[in-house]
């Protein structure tokens, strides 16, 4: 059979998201040649908790690669056509496994999880009272301590970031505690865990983490691109548990098993940074927003770190090779986007498929004065309130399921606008248009609502698998396939050039501003509902 199959040049991308894994094979124009996607189980053992089984993520990844290769061969292409693969992943989710066995020591704690409110309260107290040792013998505390943490990492203390989740694991799971004490613990985000397995697991022991993911741990110095000793000391963590740091685009090793054994892995990148790359927002001032489980708006700031004064994160956008200078971005993270639609479907039973939200919401021209603050696990940017509660407000006798569905779509748009208002203040520049991608953008009504509430043009490309494409571009660039080079955006000019659809705002200015004021009032009422407590105080 092999002799009849054609040999091409393709790039594979393994996209390990929050609810599903998929493997996609692209050609040099970003046409999808083969793909396979599988949802994996979500675990919610207690309110505010969200777990994944790291082994299940890996098993689903392996199946997706196998099934995509079968599709590729069915389409007449030899599997040797796949020259390199990239991996992109949900960020901040924390995985702890054993150095000896290569097996997870507990369930992974997902980025959306908010059980660590009390851990955050403890470290906020510690910053206030004891402070942080920024250099030998030099301690800063109180506001100076908070500013020092932000200056080193670009991040505030929050349930969102992985070091807080790891600390909770060490404090609450005896197996993780024992492994940390015995120096048998390996910690990583999802790309670290997946790369460890694909590159040979315990046999080869390749324990690496890529800088965009590492920049979301609260342990990385974003200026030096090194793990920061004073933060390891602050959180009480051993350095030996941490992976070796690598760039976004380089060859890390070869697949150790499966139908693509021997193919190099050439790209690792956090999913939101991957979407920035996939949308080709590689120049200063370009922005994109991905609407998946959550929503993430990234604004490329080029080679400079822009420190946000308005509730955004300074993060690494990518590092285009081991010796390349990093490119930075401002980011606004919204915890709940598509997951609110899933809530309407799975928990409330108001719709039977996610796509139906558009039909249901479309039955009403407005929300009837209803606002939905979707703070299922507190609020992220620009509010940073882990104690905020989900809230429907403005309910009247006439409120119906269509109003609620529309309020879900509007919540998404209001939170996007809140982040863009902060970006304008931080960057000093207005946003004329926003490039969008992700599953939630498939509905036209969602896009119309976003343009109306935001007051800007929304640009939706035809091929919207930007996250998978971003990791494919990193991987291709690592081996100079098709002449791709992340340092030279012009080398990507033939990638994903199919048409896009633009959505213009139609709502009159006065009505838009009136609704925006209503949203701000709703947000204020939802905040501080459940405060974290320092259990160690």
Residue whose entry in the numeric block shows the structure tokens 């991608």: 437
Low-confidence ranges of the chain (pLDDT < 70): 1-3, 537
The CA-atom distances, in angstroms, between 317 and each of 282, 363, 493 are 9, 40, 20
The alpha carbon dihedral of 177, 178, 181, 182 has a sign of negative
- The secondary element (H helix, E strand) that includes residue 251 is strand 249-254
Structure tokens, 500: 């896009």
CA nearest neighbour of 389 among 293, 524, 520: 524
CA nearest neighbour of 454 among 534, 407, 364, 515: 515
Structure tokens, 86: 């990239």
Pick the CATH number of 98-184+206-246 from 3.40.50.920, 3.30.2020.30, 2.60.15.10, 3.30.420.40: 3.30.420.40
The pLDDT of residue 451 is 94
Residue whose entry in the numeric block shows the structure tokens 């992985």: 162
CA nearest neighbour of 418 among 504, 527, 493: 527
The pLDDT of residue 537 is 62
pLDDT digits (tens, 9 = 90+) for 456-466: 899 998 887 88
CA–CA dist 467, 332 (Å, integer): 17
Structure tokens, 302: 């080029």
The pLDDT of residue 297 is 93
The CA-atom distances, in angstroms, between 269 and each of 114, 227, 246 are 24, 17, 10
Expressed in angstroms, the distance from the first to the final Cα of the chain is 68
CA–CA dist 190, 250 (Å, integer): 18
Structure tokens, 537: 């105080």
- The secondary element (H helix, E strand) that includes residue 39 is strand 32-39
DSSP state of 187: E
Pairing relationship of beta strands 138-140 and 371-373 according to DSSP bridges:
unpaired
Biggest CA–CA distance in the chain, Å, is 71
Contacts of 60 (CB under 8 A, 6+ apart): 20, 21, 38, 40
Backbone angle region of 424, left / alpha / beta, with phi > 0 → left and psi within -120 to 50 → alpha: alpha
CA nearest neighbour of 361 among 340, 346, 377: 340
Burial of 127 (0-12, 13-18, 19+ CB in 10 A): buried
CA–CA dist 87, 193 (Å, integer): 11
CA–CA dist 35, 26 (Å, integer): 9
User: Contact, 208 vs 244, CB < 8 A?
Assistant: yes
Q: Determine the angle formed by the axes of helices 162-172 and 174-181, rounding to 10 degrees.
A: 100
Residue whose entry in the numeric block shows the structure tokens 């606008």: 417
CA–CA dist 442, 107 (Å, integer): 32
The pLDDT of residue 396 is 95
User: Contact, 164 vs 119, CB < 8 A?
Assistant: yes
């Amino acid at each position: 059979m092999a002799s009849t199959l054609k040999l091409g040049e393709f790039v594979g991308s393994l996209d390990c998201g929050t609810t599903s894994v998929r493997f996609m094979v692209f050609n040099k124009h970003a046409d999808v040649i083969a793909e396979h996607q599988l949802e994996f189980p979500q675990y919610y053992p207690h309110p505010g908790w969200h777990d994944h089984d790291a082994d299940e993520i890996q098993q689903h990844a392996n199946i997706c690669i196998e099934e995509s290769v079968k599709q590729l061969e069915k389409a007449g292409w030899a599997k040797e056509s796949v020259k390199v693969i990239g991996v992109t992943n949900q960020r901040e989710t924390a995985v702890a496994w054993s150095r000896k066995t290569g097996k997870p020591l507990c369930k992974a704690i997902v980025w959306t999880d908010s059980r660590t409110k009390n851990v955050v309260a403890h470290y906020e107290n510690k910053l206030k009272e004891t402070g942080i040792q920024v250099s030998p013998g030099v301690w800063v505390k109180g506001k100076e301590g908070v500013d020092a943490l932000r200056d080193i990492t670009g991040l505030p203390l929050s349930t969102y970031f992985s070091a807080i989740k790891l600390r909770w694991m060490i404090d609450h799971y005896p197996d993780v505690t024992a492994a940390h004490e015995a120096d048998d613990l390996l910690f990583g985000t999802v790309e670290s865990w997946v790369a460890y397995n694909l590159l040979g697991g315990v046999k080869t022991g390749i324990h690496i983490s890529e800088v965009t993911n590492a920049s979301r741990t609260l342990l990385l110095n974003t200026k030096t691109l090194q793990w920061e000793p004073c933060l390891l000391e602050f959180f009480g963590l051993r350095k030996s548990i941490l992976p070796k740091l690598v760039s976004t685009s380089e060859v890390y090793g070869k697949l150790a098993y499966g139908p693509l054994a021997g193919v190099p892995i050439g790209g690792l990148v956090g999913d939101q940074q991957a979407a920035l790359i996939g949308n080709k927002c590689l120049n200063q001032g370009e922005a994109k927003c991905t609407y998946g489980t959550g929503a993430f708006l990234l604004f490329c700031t080029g080679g400079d770190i822009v420190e946000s004064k308005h509730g955004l994160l300074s993060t690494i956008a990518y590092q285009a090779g081991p010796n390349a200078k990093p490119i930075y971005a401002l980011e606004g993270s919204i915890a709940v986007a598509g997951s609110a639609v899933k809530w309407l479907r799975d928990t409330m039973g108001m719709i039977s498929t996610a796509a139906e939200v558009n039909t249901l919401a479309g039955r009403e021209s407005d929300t009837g004065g209803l606002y939905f603050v979707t703070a299922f696990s507190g609020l992220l940017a620009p509010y940073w309130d882990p104690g905020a509660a989900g809230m429907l407000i403005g309910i009247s006798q006439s409120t119906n399921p269509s109003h609620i569905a529309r309020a879900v779509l509007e919540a998404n748009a209001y939170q996007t606008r809140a982040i863009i208002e902060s970006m304008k203040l931080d960057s000093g520049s207005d946003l004329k248009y926003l490039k969008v991608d992700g599953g939630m953008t498939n509905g036209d009504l969602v896009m119309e609502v976003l343009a109306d509430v935001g007051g800007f043009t929304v640009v939706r490309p035809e091929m919207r698998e930007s996250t998978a494409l971003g990791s494919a571009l990193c991987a291709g660039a690592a081996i100079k396939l098709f002449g791709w080079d992340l340092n030279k955006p012009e080398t990507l000019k033939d990638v994903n050039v199919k048409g896009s659809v633009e959505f213009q705002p139609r709502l009159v200015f006065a009505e838009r501003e009136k609704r925006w004021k209503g949203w701000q009032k709703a947000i204020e009422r939802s905040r501080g509902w459940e405060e974290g407590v320092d259990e160690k105080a």
